[in-house]
Amino acid sequence: MSVQTYANFINGEWTPAASGETFENRSPADTSDLVGRFAASGSADVDRAVASAAEAYTTWRQVPAPKRADILLRAAQLFAERKDCYARDMTREMGKVVAETGGDVQEAIDMAQLMAGEGRRLYGQTTPSELRNKFAMSIRQPVGLCGLITAWNFPIAVPSWKIFPALICGNTVVLKPAEEAPLSAVNFVQTLADAGLPPGVVNLVTGDGAGAGAPLVAHPAIRVVSFTGSTATGRLVNEAAAPSFKKVHLEMGGKNAIIVLDDADLELAVDGCLWGGFGTTGQRCTAASRVIVQKGIYRRFLDRFVERARGLKVGNGLEPGTQMGPSITETQLQKVMEYVAIGKREGARLATGGHRLTTGDWAKGWFHEPTIFGDVSPTMRIAQEEIFGPVVSVLPCDGLDDGVQIANSVAYGLSGAIYTRDVNAAFTAMRDVESGLFYVNAPTIGAEVHLPFGGIKGTGNGHREAGTAALDVFSEWKSIYVDFSGRLQRAQMDT
């Protein structure tokens, strides 16, 4: 069976890396399945992509925003038509079950439609001047060239959160996707090209962080860097961008908690914790890796949670009925196994799971059992550090105040949730849990594109994706004053 070799997309053309080198992309569910070979880009390729984006910017920024929106609407339609194909490609290359990858593509459809609507808004302000015969207003203007580095776990959704608001504001883009999921990025930019996006407006360079990511962040022509990935890498991105005062948006790690109070609907809470903890094999920045349960129902909850986790079907996400796929790489699987060993050494009780799956079809991929630790202390490493795998820690708490304190006792602040029938408790938790996202009687995952997405503390640096908040990353405010008095007026001085 022939294996396709994919190229970079620069100035509207598919072109190999300057070095001619490629890297392999293999399915994490079946490592004998070679998905494709992709361009191993270096600084020369980044330079070409940035030059292409710079040339395209001179004309793209002048295209009326409603006309930019027309292209996004056409892209949304194409994504809808290709949804099943793109979902299967995504499952093959990064492992999550095909129902989830279909949802990933749907987010791109939703985001394209949302940002296309902004093409007829992009609201500024008009306001009275303090002087006679003077008009005051503000408008959004594009920032310029955007360097975007995206994660493998949402390889179409996350690029859409960045690219569509960047485009509607009039910017041009160079995208460096995660090397673990380059095919989805190829599908993404091909869709934009088919929708009529002019050459050079979006460019794609594939490769690893050292070869392609670092030169992109450091390139002097790049004015905005938007990064999704680990907190450790995000810190390096921020430091590399600082000398040239680039605008930097960081979306990083999480250690999210669900609080379950005594009055919660037990089955609903278990449903939510299963989906929050083991959806995408726990490989989400919003994954519910901690469950904080009030002592009155702690044992009942833990027993039911363990029972349900043991029943999850683990396997290739393309197979019908699969509920949880593999870890993305052998390295990530080894990290999961190391944290299981750490949890045991720390004295947490391994309630279920804890082992790599190696028999039958599992032997071909990077699979791990759904794993639950009980009787976890808030200070244990498994309750503090992001594992990014199918490992959930269950912690007892005395009540709402104690639960909130435990939830806030980590370095991250992305997502939180509570299960309760007490509206007062729900509103208290909404206010007091330190997170950028919060859910009541729902898990920590499930954000919708029309609201801001992002976190605080070690999760982010103050910017947000999705919703109209995304426009603030990819535009600059310009305040404009029009004096039609026919004479010199001095603000704050003339009365």
Closest CA to 340 of 305, 310, 402, 385: 385
Instruction: Kindly report, residue by residue over 118-172, the tens digit of the pLDDT.
Output: 999 999 999 999 999 999 999 999 999 999 999 999 999 999 999 999 999 999 9
Question: Contact 28/331 with Cβ under 8 angstroms?
Answer: no
Q: Please report the pLDDT score of residue 493 as a whole number.
A: 81
In CATH terms, the superfamily for domain 257-440 is Aldehyde Dehydrogenase; Chain A, domain 2 (3.40.309.10)
The predicted pLDDT at position 194 comes to 98
| pLDDT for 1 | 67
Q: What are phi and psi of 226, to 5 degrees?
A: -120, 120
Q: What is the pLDDT of residues 348-371, one digit of tens each?
A: 999 999 999 999 999 999 999 999
5-252+460-479 and 257-440 in the same fold:
no
Closest C-alpha to 460, from 237, 179, 180: 237
pLDDT, average across residues 302-317: 98
Residue 330 a catalytic site member: no
Nearest to 263 by CA among 402, 405, 419: 419
3-class SS letters over 274-297: HHHHHHHHHCCCCCCCEEEEEHHH
Give yes or no for residue 293 having a pLDDT over 90: yes
Q: What is the pLDDT of residue 206?
A: 98
Whole-number pLDDT of residue 71: 98
Q: What is the pLDDT of residue 2?
A: 83
Mean pLDDT, rounded, for 275-304: 97
**Does the pLDDT value for residue 256 go beyond 90?**
yes
The proportion of the chain whose per-residue pLDDT surpasses 70, expressed as a percent, equals 99
Cα torsion through 353, 357, 360, 361, rounded to 10: 110
Cα–Cα distances (Å) from 219 to 9, 143, 151, in that order, read 18, 15, 20
Q: What is the pLDDT of residues 469-478, one digit of tens each?
A: 999 999 999 9
Tens-place pLDDT, residues 162-202: 999 999 999 999 999 999 999 999 999 999 999 999 999 99
- Known catalytic residue at 251: yes
Band (109; pLDDT cuts 50, 70, 90) = very high
Domain boundaries of the chain, sorted by first residue:
5-252+460-479, 257-440
| pLDDT at residue 428 in the model | 98
pLDDT tier at 492, thresholds 50, 70, 90: confident
CA of residue 325 relative to chain centroid, distance: 19
Q: How far apart are CA 393 and CA 95, in angstroms?
A: 23
Distance CA 154, CA 164 (A): 15
- The catalytic position among 180, 251, 434, 465 is 251
Measured between alpha carbons, how far is 323 from 314 in angstroms, rounded to an integer? 6
Q: Which amino acid, 404?
A: V
CA distance 308 to 320: 19
Predicted confidence at residue 495, as pLDDT, reads 64
Tell me, which fold does domain 5-252+460-479 have in CATH? Aldehyde Dehydrogenase; Chain A, domain 1 (3.40.605)
Q: Check 180, 285, 397, 434 and give the catalytic one.
A: 285
User: What is the per-residue burial (b if ≥16 Cβ within 10 Å, else e) of 442-475?
Assistant: bbbbbbebeebbbbebbbbbebbbbbbebbbbbb
Q: What is the pLDDT of residues 50-93, one digit of tens each?
A: 999 999 999 999 999 999 999 999 999 999 999 999 999 999 99
| CA–CA distance, 231 with 316 (Å, rounded to integer) | 29
